């Protein structure tokens, strides 16, 4: 999603701005741009190509300046075209641009503001909601940008992080946030703004996390923050260790492939060196919280939602606590019945997912104070907002389609299951010891599954010519089937749907023909015989089955029934192992179709807009 970088310094800031954009590229974008204060004018370059292309343009035109802002855009309002790319200017209809602005988010009252500003004589050059902010600030401006921005944001409805500078005030950048992430980077006689501390790696590690409603005034040696009421506030400066090492592709063709193969390490790191389960793994005070709660509400989106659905099977079966799992974008707007004795668990790779953050705040506003997050970024808004947290240690995930983030989330959620079960007295020491042992063996077990890649590649070639696929799973493998279908559609653009296998005969069986591949997850569990009957129903209609079967299921290959054997049955942790071949199948089907695997069309990595 959109990335913002801003800088005020005594050196040319263009290299810092472009480096920042490169670090934010992994989030996904469709255009990019940079603007600086140069020779008393506002100058900009914008491109619908990659940041490297923008960089070439900037070099050709020798764009340089001491103050500037830059942006990667993931279009929400207006096509991905140069005229819609940020930075947007205002004031050019008077002959000279005065305000330059970049924005992440959605302004919901943009139509109304546009009408008002058009009536005041402003001419719009783009179809974006963002341009209204630039004109509004220009309209309200009288010699003080900080004041104009404070006045402007009072008129905005929706979500935004903005960075703005003004032709009349060459050494100043003003930022503001409401619902979208924005951080300040503090330097020596220079200061910066960015969507994420990662963008400033190598420039500064002194980071201030702005809060909703904050407006910040950045000058060379001053960072001044006011809250929504206009009162000065002091926000803590954090020293942030930013790991950037994951950007090397090494021997892999794509980041997604690299990240699939990193899973033994990522899961191992996420388990740290845990020798015993204690609630304090989730933070101070976790014991009291776990003791108090008698239900769990999981809020998440996309792949994280499927991790939550899997956790529901674990928590209900091992810890015996009732669990609800809700899609965050639905939960935040629906009437629900709050229960203060609920543990609200949010799951988000980036910790900045706008819908999940909003759902968390909605739950808090309903009086549900016991909050916990499973998150991959320790400095994220989600970790700061939740009382308790467990950090997955997947490392930076660049591929838009989540892989190692998912399996590490599952690992964290299984630890949560055990901690809850322990506090509620639902498991004894031996069971705890056995589960921990199985967890510790996971990296080895995953490595054995990764060795199936050549067999899966052969299947993937056949999938590449299909336009539809079905995925079947039962019990705790149903969410894994959903995740497998999501992976396939995200990166190969093959339409895929998942069903609990027993549901097939209630409708989807009508879709089954000899053109429909049906991927089936077949672990050796108590539902195996039922699943086998469901598979026969598919075969009887000519459907081709592609089955990932545990070694001891006695499912064998026959015409129309293709089988890949999973090395071992993994009991309660089996969903983690069965995820891996589905990732590889999607990955190789996408490669065979020649799609842009790491940056699939229309999608972005950190979903920071609603
Ligand atoms: N609404 C703005 C910004 C979109 C955004 O934040 N995407 O992540 C636009 O469409 O330009």
Burial class of residue 506 (count of CB atoms within 10 Å of its CB; 0-12, 13-18, 19+):
exposed
From 33, 102, 609, the mutation candidate for ligand 1 (largest count of ligand atoms within 8 A of CB) is: 609
CA-only gyration radius of the chain, Å:
26
Is the distance from CB of 311 to CB of 410 less than 8 angstroms? Answer: yes
56 lines ligand 1 (CB under 6 A): no
Residue 604 alpha carbon, nearest atom of ligand 1: 8
pLDDT at 249: 82
Closest CA to 175 of 84, 250, 102: 102
pLDDT at 518: 96
| Own/partner long-range contacts of 276-280 (Cβ < 8 Å, ≥24 apart) | 276/432, 276/436, 277/415, 277/418, 277/419, 277/422, 277/432, 277/436, 278/419, 278/422, 279/419, 279/422, 279/423
Averaged over 568-576, what is the pLDDT? 94
Q: What digits encode the pLDDT tens for the residues 111-153?
A: 999 999 999 999 999 999 999 999 999 999 999 999 999 999 9
pLDDT at 472: 96
For the chain, give the percent of residues with pLDDT over 70: 99
Q: Who has greater pLDDT, 82 or 198?
A: 82
From 48, 76, 111, the mutation candidate for ligand 1 (largest count of ligand atoms within 8 A of CB) is: 76
pLDDT at 26: 78
Q: What digits encode the pLDDT tens for the residues 433-474?
A: 999 999 999 999 999 999 999 999 999 999 999 999 999 999
Helices (H), 464-563: 478-492, 528-540
List, by residue number, the catalytic residues. 2, 605
Helices (H), 318-403: 328-331, 354-365, 381-385
29 lines ligand 1 (CB under 6 A): no
Q: Residue 61, Cα to own-chain centre: how many angstroms? A: 35
CB atoms inside a 10 Å sphere around CB 237: 14
**What is 451-597's CATH number, 3.40.630.30, 3.10.20.90, 3.30.450.40, 3.40.50.10490?**
3.40.50.10490
Say whether pLDDT at 557 is over 60: yes
CATH class of the region 250-448: alpha beta
Say whether pLDDT at 416 is over 90: yes
pLDDT at 18: 98
Q: What digits encode the pLDDT tens for the residues 473-489?
A: 999 999 999 999 999 99
Q: Do 451-597 and 250-448 have the same topology in CATH?
A: yes
Architecture of the domain whose range is 3-246? 4-Layer Sandwich (3.60)
| Distance in Å, CA 76 to ligand 1 centroid | 5
Backbone phi, psi, residue 263, to 5°: -60, -35
Domain ranges within the chain, ordered by starting residue: 3-246, 250-448, 451-597
| C-alpha span between 175 and 181 (Å, rounded) | 11
Q: DSSP secondary-structure letter at 570? A: -
pLDDT at 411: 98
Averaged over 323-337, what is the pLDDT? 96
103 lines ligand 1 (CB under 6 A): yes
């Amino acid at each position: 999603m959109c990335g913002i970088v801003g800088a005020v310094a005594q050196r040319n800031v263009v290299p810092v701005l472009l480096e920042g954009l490169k670090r934010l590229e992994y989030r996904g974008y469709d255009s990019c741009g940079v603007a600086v204060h140069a020779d008393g004018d506002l100058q900009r370059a914008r491109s619908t190509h990659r940041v490297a292309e923008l960089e070439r343009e900037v070099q050709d035109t020798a764009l340089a300046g001491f103050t500037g802002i830059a942006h990667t855009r993931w279009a929400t309002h207006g096509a991905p075209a140069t005229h819609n790319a940020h930075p947007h200017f205002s004031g050019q209809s008077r002959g000279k641009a005065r305000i330059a602005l970049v924005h992440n988010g959605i302004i919901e009252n943009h139509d109304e503001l546009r009408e008002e500003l058009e009536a005041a004589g402003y001419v719009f050059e783009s179809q974006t909601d963002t341009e209204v902010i630039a004109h509004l600030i220009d309209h309200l401006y009288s010699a003080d940008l900080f004041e104009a921005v404070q006045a402007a944001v009072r008129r905005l409805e929706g979500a935004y992080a903005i960075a703005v500078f003004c032709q009349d005030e060459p050494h100043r950048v003003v930022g503001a946030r409401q619902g979208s992430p924005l951080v300040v980077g503090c330097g020596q006689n220079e200061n910066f703004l960015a969507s994420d501390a990662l963008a400033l790696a190598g420039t500064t590690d002194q980071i201030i996390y702005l809060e909703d409603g904050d407006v910040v005034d950045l000058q060379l040696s001053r960072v001044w923050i006011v809250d929504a009421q206009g009162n000065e506030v002091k926000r803590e400066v954090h020293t942030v260790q930013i790991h950037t090492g994951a950007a090397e592709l090494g021997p892999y063709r794509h980041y997604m492939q690299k990240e699939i193969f990193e899973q033994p390490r990522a899961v191992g790191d996420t388990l740290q060196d845990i020798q015993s389960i204690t609630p304090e793994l989730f933070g101070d005070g976790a014991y009291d919280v776990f003791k108090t709660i008698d239900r769990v509400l999981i809020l998440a989106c996309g792949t994280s939602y499927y991790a939550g659905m899997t956790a529901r099977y674990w928590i209900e079966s091992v810890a015996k606590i009732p669990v609800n799992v809700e899609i965050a974008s639905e939960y935040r707007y629906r009437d629900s019945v709050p229960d203060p004795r609920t543990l609200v668990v949010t799951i988000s790779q980036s910790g900045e997912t706008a819908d999940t953050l909003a759902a968390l705040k909605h739950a808090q506003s309903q009086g549900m104070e016991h909050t916990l997050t499973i998150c991959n970024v320790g400095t994220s808004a989600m970790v700061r907002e939740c009382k308790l947290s467990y950090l997955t240690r997947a490392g930076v995930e660049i591929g838009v389609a989540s892989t190692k983030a998912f399996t590490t989330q599952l690992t964290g959620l299984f630890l949560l299951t055990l901690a809850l079960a322990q506090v509620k007295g639902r498991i004894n020491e031996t069971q705890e010891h056995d589960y921990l042992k199985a967890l510790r063996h996971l990296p080895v077990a995953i490595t054995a599954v990764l060795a199936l890649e050549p067999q899966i590649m052969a299947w993937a070639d056949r999938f590449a010519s299909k336009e539809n696929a079905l995925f079947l799973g039962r019990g705790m493998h149903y969410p894994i089937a959903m995740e497998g279908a999501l992976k396939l559609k995200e990166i190969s653009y093959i339409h895929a749907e998942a069903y609990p296998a027993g549901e097939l005969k209630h409708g989807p069986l009508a879709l089954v023909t000899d053109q429909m591949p049906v991927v089936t997850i077949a672990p050796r569990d108590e539902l195996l015989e039922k699943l086998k009957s469901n598979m026969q129903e598919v075969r009887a209609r000519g459907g081709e089955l592609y089955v990932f079967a545990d070694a001891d299921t006695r499912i064998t290959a026959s015409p129309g029934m293709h089988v890949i054997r999973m090395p071992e049955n993994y009991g309660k942790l089996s969903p983690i192992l069965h995820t891996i071949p589905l990732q590889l199948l999607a990955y190789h089907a996408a490669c065979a179709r020649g799609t842009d695997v790491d940056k699939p069309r229309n999608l972005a990595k950190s979903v920071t807009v609603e």
